[in-house]
Structures are given as C-alpha cells and as structure tokens.
Structure 1
Amino acid sequence: MELKHYLEQHDRIKEELSDLKILLAKQDLEQNAAELAFHISGLAGKLNIHLTSEDQYLYPFFFKGNDVNLVNKAHEYQNEMGNLLADFTVFKNTFNTKIKILSDRDRFINESNRIIQSIEQRMDKEEKDLYRLV
C-alpha cells in the first residue's frame, strides 16, 4: 500500500489548519471572521475527501492484512476517527459563517483551538504509529 497519497492529503489539511491558526492569532475576529469561515469550509472539504478515501480504501486494506497488530490498530484508529469527525462536524456547523463566529466569539476561539489540536494530534499519531506499520 502506497501511503504517499494520504500523506499529501495530510499536508493539505495541515495547510488549512495553519491558515486558521494564523488568523486566530491575529485576535481580530471582526475583520477575519469571513476568512475563518472560508477556511473552516475548506478544511471540511479536505477532511471529507481524506476520510472517505481512508474508509473506502486504506482501512479495508489494513483489515485484510495478516498483521494482527496492524488490523487491531486500524480498528482502533477508525473508531477514534468517527468521534473526531462527529466533533468536527458539530464545530463546522456551529461556526461556518461570519455571523455564527461573531455571535459567540469566546466559544469559537476555544472550540477552534481544541479542534485544531485534535486534528493535528490525530494526523501525527497516524503518521508516527499506524502508517509506519505498513
């Protein structure tokens, strides 16, 4: 299994996360809310493509393998990802427009930082643990 495609997707997701972090660091939500909403939508699209690809191709490949450790880790990661995806979906639906962001600024900042960290940790874990087993 060639993982280059998935690592490239991770890179594109990391770019969106970086853009979000830069905008959040400016601490001027009034001016940056529309661009933040744009990047949240972009991140949603990139995550959707990545997770669909993983679900349809990568994880089924892992599940068919003879390496019990890889099969077990793949099941563990897939279950964890379902929770992260659900969490991100709530975040996206709550803050995907300028008006929604500005209506609850403190919660937006807290939730943004939390979800960014969760996604970064997940990709790091995949790259350092699961992908290395292949």
Structure 2
Amino acid sequence: MNLDKYRREHADIIGHVSTLRTLCAHGIADEAAAIAREVIAMSSVIKLHLSVEDRYLYPSMQQAAPALAAKARLYQEEMKDISAQYGQFSRRWNDAQSIAEQPEAFRADANRVLKLLFDRIGRENRDFYPMVEAA
C-alpha cells in the first residue's frame, strides 16, 4: 500500500503546527486573527485525513496479518479520543476574539492537544506505516 498521501498530509499538519508556534511566539493576542485562520485551515486538513484513514486505511488493515490488524484496531480506537480532543480545541479556538481574550488558556490547550497530535503522527510515521508497507 502506498502511504505517500498520508505522509504528505502529516507533513502539512506539522507545518500548520509550526506556523501556530511561530504566530504564538509573536504574541498570541496580537496574532489572534492569524492564529484563528491557521486553526481553521489545519482543521480542514485533519478532518479530511482522519476521514480517509477511518474509511479506508484502518478497515483495509483488518484483512492483514493478525499483528497488523490488531495494531490498526488499536490506532483507530486511540484516534477517536485524539480526534474528539482536537475537535473541542478547534471549536473553542477558531475565533480570534476568544483567542485574544484568553491567550494563556489558548496556549495551554494548544500545547496539550497539539502535542497529542504531534506524538501520534510521529508514531504512525515511525511504527505503523512501515508495518503497513511491509505487509
């Protein structure tokens, strides 16, 4: 299975996270409008990526060797929680006014949720995708 599209989307998501970090370093309240736009743009990529993984990648791995099928089920189950947390984050912080009024709350929420996302992308790229490609 060719996973280049998934890896490109991962790189795109990491790019959005990097842009958010840069904007935050310039001042969350000052960059609130740009941060909100970035959250919205990143959310579009994440929603599409998760949908394709959930509909195609994980189900196709259910027919693979038992170890890979089990790993796919585990990853799919874990992603439900991460997806829910990201959804709450994106709904709360897609508005410049909310970000400008609560910059430290945004920072704390972003650090927590985006770390979950970043760590998960790393595990998929490092552990799961090589198993899929080897199958």
Same fold (TM over 0.5): yes
Which residue of structure 1 lines up, in the alignment, with residue 44 of structure 2? Answer: 45
Aligned residues: 132
The CA deviation at 1:29 is: 2.0
Q: Does 1:88 align with 2:53?
A: no
Residue aligning to 2:3: 3
Q: Is structure 2 residue 70 aligned with structure 1 residue 72?
A: yes
Q: Is the aligned partner of 1:108 residue 2:106?
A: yes
Aligned to 1:118: 116
Distance in 2, Cα, partners of 1:112 & 1:56 = 27
Q: Deviations over 1:39-82 (max 9, x none)?
A: 100111000110011011111111111x1111111111011101
Let me know the Cα RMSD of the aligned residues.
Answer: 0.9
Structure 1, unpaired ranges of 5+: none
Range with greater deviation from structure 2 (102-111 or 75-84): 102-111
Residue 86 of structure 1, CA deviation: 0.3
Counterpart AA for 2:77 = N
- Distance in 1 of aligned mates of 2:5 and 2:29: 37
Normalised by the length of structure 2, the TM-score is: 0.94
Deviation string, structure 1 residues 7-44 (Cα, Å, up to 9, x no partner): 01111111111101111122x22220000000100111
Unaligned runs of 5+ in 2: none
TM-score, with length taken from structure 1? 0.94
CA distance in 2, matches of 1:96, 1:71: 36
Match of 2:126 in 1: 128
